[in-house]
Structure 1
């Protein structure tokens, strides 16, 4: 009796969701999709369109199948689907922009991957999503943080509220100010990378603490908006650096950069995460050269 195997592009799409958290793990991707479906079905539909458009578009353009299979051409489209659905709801305009954004993100992503592998450039991470996301935010006249600064029930600044804020900080990676969503995302990473999950949790905790210490608005802190960039930075750096110091520096750098973006009045999206990872990587390269 022949074995039943999921279609290749279904696995690639799930890996595209998992790559939002820097993993290539279909079950991780399914848990991320579940978190969206439980808390924001409309956003889930937008994200699914984005990941499918970018994944199938990459296949149509003849991009390397191995990269498609592990989701490297899915996650930027998924994030754009989330953002545009959040901004515009589900409409012909938003769906068209999601498809367009997915196509554009592929054109940039293939160049970033090539430059990283052939010329030792720094990884692009979510840069295609950020650039198109900023354009979309400007287009709708919403130069403000894209993620919601609220939760269904306003939290109090107490022990319980801070604990829930840590969960929301992870949930905000997919624009959800929901502790349960954050818990599902943490479990998703735990399946693929336990060390990375621990560092991601530390990043969210530190983001909440630094946000409060530096006078960030309480409701933004409690909704997790100061936690998701440090969480992502800690997760990414912990995967390539053995030292505990590197993820710690990435956490602090991402939190500080978030403050700078706030002062400039620019929507940070995940740019503080990327810049923090780049700075740590450049510092590591410089250190190795000095010791050589």
Structure 2
């Protein structure tokens, strides 16, 4: 039972929710959209958490899910971008293991956030593309006549874990809300502002798919605070992460959550300098 709770916390920690019920709702949302990606999330979390236990990393960190969420994201990403076969299954397993090592190293130096997932998944993706000559799965582009703000915002929540599904996004928002209402409020604000910011520069299909809001949501949750100044820092982070997402994407890079990680590092550095 304790291991199951650790796994659910690991999934919850993708959006900074150290709560087994939040993790359960996240998992339910993924399975609602794709049973395959749900299994990938579970497998990635179990592998990365088990490796941390075998290596006897901090027991508290493991139980709080800190060694699970990067593995969860890596697992989902592999099956999101590539067909399932023996090589991609091995890539998922290897990526989940590697994410634990990278997390253990980075967390001693900086707030790691999802940086281990980003670094490991870039390595896995580009290895499969250029070494094994695999092709990326084609994505079906939704076509709508104009901005659908509710759809864009809900999909933004889903896209944190590669899910383009409005119902899944609602599951994710509810998962945050039951654990921290302030984080949920800021996350909704981020989804809307991120989508509106991207609207000036990106195709409507990308906005409605939630691709301009998910990094903004993570920034808002990571920086949530009760001070008035926190609202300004979060607003700046939302806009900066959206522009960074657009800029990196134009280079052909698969951005993942890199815009969130870099933006949050910058904002935290500025906040600390301002307070000092």
The bucket for the TM-score relative to the shorter chain is: over 0.9
Q: In structure 1, how many angstroms separate the alpha carbons of the residues matched to 2:62 and 2:226? A: 22
Structure 1 contact 149–177 (Cα < 8 Å) conserved: no
Q: What residue in structure 2 maps to residue 198 of structure 1?
A: 185
Structure 1 contact 46–90 (Cα < 8 Å) conserved: no
TM-aligned CA distance change 1:11 to 1:240, over 3 Å:
farther
Stretches of structure 1 lacking an aligned partner (at least 5 in a row)? 1-6, 116-120
Q: In structure 2, how many angstroms separate the alpha carbons of the residues matched to 1:76 and 1:240? A: 27
Structure 2 contact 10–69 (Cα < 8 Å) conserved: yes
Structure 1 contact 149–219 (Cα < 8 Å) conserved: no
The answer on 1:231 being equivalent to 2:220 is no
TM-aligned CA distance change 1:141 to 1:232, over 3 Å:
same
The answer on 1:277 being equivalent to 2:267 is no
Q: What residue in structure 2 maps to residue 100 of structure 1?
A: 94
Structure 1 contact 147–175 (Cα < 8 Å) conserved: no
Q: What residue in structure 1 maps to residue 252 of structure 2?
A: 265
The answer on 1:126 being equivalent to 2:120 is no
TM-aligned CA distance change 1:83 to 1:284, over 3 Å:
same
TM-aligned CA distance change 1:241 to 1:256, over 3 Å:
farther
Q: What residue in structure 2 maps to residue 139 of structure 1?
A: 127
The answer on 1:30 being equivalent to 2:24 is yes
After TM superposition, the structure 1 = structure 2 runs for residues 181-192 of structure 1, keeping only pairs within 5 Å, are 181-192=168-179
The answer on 1:220 being equivalent to 2:206 is yes
SS of corresponding position for 2:223: helix
* TM superposition score normalised by structure 2: 0.92
SS of corresponding position for 2:145: coil
The answer on 1:66 being equivalent to 2:53 is no
Number of aligned residue pairs:
270
SS of corresponding position for 1:183: helix
Aligned equivalent of 2:42, options 39, 48, 70: 48
Structure 1 residue 19 displacement after superposition: 0.4
Structure 1 residue 182 displacement after superposition: 0.8
Q: In structure 2, how many angstroms separate the alpha carbons of the residues matched to 1:190 and 1:18? A: 12
Aligned equivalent of 1:80, options 74, 77, 83: 74
Aligned equivalent of 1:252, options 206, 229, 239: 239
Q: In structure 1, how many angstroms separate the alpha carbons of the residues matched to 2:88 and 2:26? A: 22
TM-aligned CA distance change 1:97 to 1:15, over 3 Å:
same
Q: What residue in structure 1 maps to residue 3 of structure 2?
A: 9
Q: In structure 1, how many angstroms separate the alpha carbons of the residues matched to 2:138 and 2:19? A: 28
CA RMSD, 1 decimal:
1.9
SS of corresponding position for 2:129: coil
Structure 1 residue 11 displacement after superposition: 0.5
Q: What residue in structure 1 maps to residue 194 of structure 2?
A: 207
Structure 1 residue 150 displacement after superposition: 4.2
* TM superposition score normalised by structure 1: 0.87
Stretches of structure 2 lacking an aligned partner (at least 5 in a row)? 131-135
Q: In structure 2, how many angstroms separate the alpha carbons of the residues matched to 1:114 and 1:241? A: 28
Structure 1 contact 80–102 (Cα < 8 Å) conserved: yes
Q: 1:37-62 deviations in whole A, cap 9, x for unaligned?
A: 11111111111110000111110111
